[in-house]
Chains A and B, each alone.
Chain A
């Protein structure tokens, strides 16, 4: 299509927007808020995911030992652990140190421990596995092997709760997708009706355009551009506000407000592009539905 026609279409689309600015402002506002909600959800999901992945980089394991275990047995267990790939014994916590640590954690409530006749806490070996070198670690197998050894009371590892958290993350993802889907339908409904209203307001002009020989597409394209412009503006606005929110929560100046600085990351470029393109596509699709339903001149 000729370039000058596109400049005509764009001019017409902008004139339409200006002539129906109230309808467009309402449509734009609603679309922007919907995309912002979806973007905020995505930002939350991305950050939780990154945090879980970061935590999952190291696997920590607590090997609780039987009371009265001999030093030689303890050393034997320690050397077996050291023989495991990427394993490192971070520290040994004696029974007394474990109780001291508990007292410290309980703080003012430490008096609760005064009535104890004996120290109920076991000694433990704190083990760390580094996952970064690509080695596959099977914590469940190691746990079972250790629990078979004489002198080992119980073994717990960090991924057990991480697994549960990943389940929660899956739930958040699913909720986000459902909310996103509903918001998309809402946006389509809003855009379709916004464009329908502008088509109604230009009904007379459309009729005359058709009577002087305008093709269907000549009449339709400015309306499609209106939807696309709404999508572009909503997408850009939502991303800007999202970035401003992110900047505010991560900026050092937040320290002065008494609220801690959050260690967040912003949406990766491809996600931001996805939000923008999705917004434009929704705008276009909404106006396409409106013109398809409306035009029969």
Chain B
């Protein structure tokens, strides 16, 4: 599903990623972990096509991202859900509108947009808050809105960057359970987190990054 070959990414003179080789199979749940500044976010952004590698190849479902034009990349992104560390919700749109946005950009019919958005909000247990605005929600609720938006288009791959970043223990557990439920339905999931312990004992494959290099795999 995801194949990375000899991937390098530099920001000016600084190397963010160095010689990354990684394969993620369909339906796998992979944790990318490591200390802050290890390159976890950069790795997810490269897989998502939001950054271009300095060198190396990225294949998503056998499609080489280096060879994709802008328009094709836009279409590919519709099959990848991304949960951002800072949620990236629009404050002037309601919870419902924020989630529906991911379907509206695909030109989906209004009735389908409404149906799938409601389903997605139910999955993250936020159906009762669909008319609320993001700034009136707690951090955990905003995170769940971001997850609902990422899964509303039934993505093949779900990428999440520090999804439990600033949440308390209870909310973190809820989010982890939510990811597991999404994974059970067959979605490939890659989660970047500095807090590896949260996912311990759950049997996920874990890739450890340090200073831009993979230093361990469990």
Contact = CB atoms under 8 A, between A and B. Distances in A.
Given A5-B107, A8-B104, A208-B101, A213 B149 contact: no
A126 B149 CA distance: 90
Interface in A1-53: 1-2, 4-5, 8
Nearest to B105: A214
B101 A212 contact: yes
A116 interface: no
A212 B109 CA distance: 17
Interface string B45-86: 000101000000000000000000011001101100010100
Nearest to A19: B92
B133 to A, nearest CB: 14
Contacts of B38: none
Interface string A218-233: 1000000000000000
Nearest to A218: B105
A207 B84 CA distance: 12
B105 to A, nearest CB: 4
Contact of B88 (A1, A211, A215): A211
Contacts of A218: 105
A73 B191 CA distance: 115
Interface of A is mostly: helix
Q: Counting chain B CB atoms within 10 Å of each CB, which of A207, A213, A218 scores highest?
A: A213
Given A4-B107, A4-B110, A213 B90 contact: no
Interface residues of B, number: 23
A216 interface: yes
A212 B90 contact: no
B109 A205 contact: no
A208 B71 contact: no
B120 to A, nearest CB: 13
Interface in A194-215: 204-205, 207-215
A18 to B, nearest CB: 12
A4 B88 contact: no
Contacts of B109: 4
B147 to A, nearest CB: 13
Contacts of B153: 213
B102 interface: yes
Nearest to B89: A208
Contacts of B70: 216
10 contacts: A2-B107, A4-B107, A204-B90, A210-B74, A211-B50, A211-B82, A211-B84, A215-B74, A215-B105, A218-B105
Interface of A: 1-2, 4-5, 8, 204-205, 207-216, 218
Interface of B: 48, 50, 70-71, 74-75, 77-78, 82, 84, 88-90, 101-102, 104-107, 109-110, 149, 153
Give 6 nearest A-B pairs by CB, closest first.
Answer: A213-B78, A214-B105, A213-B77, A212-B102, A215-B74, A5-B107
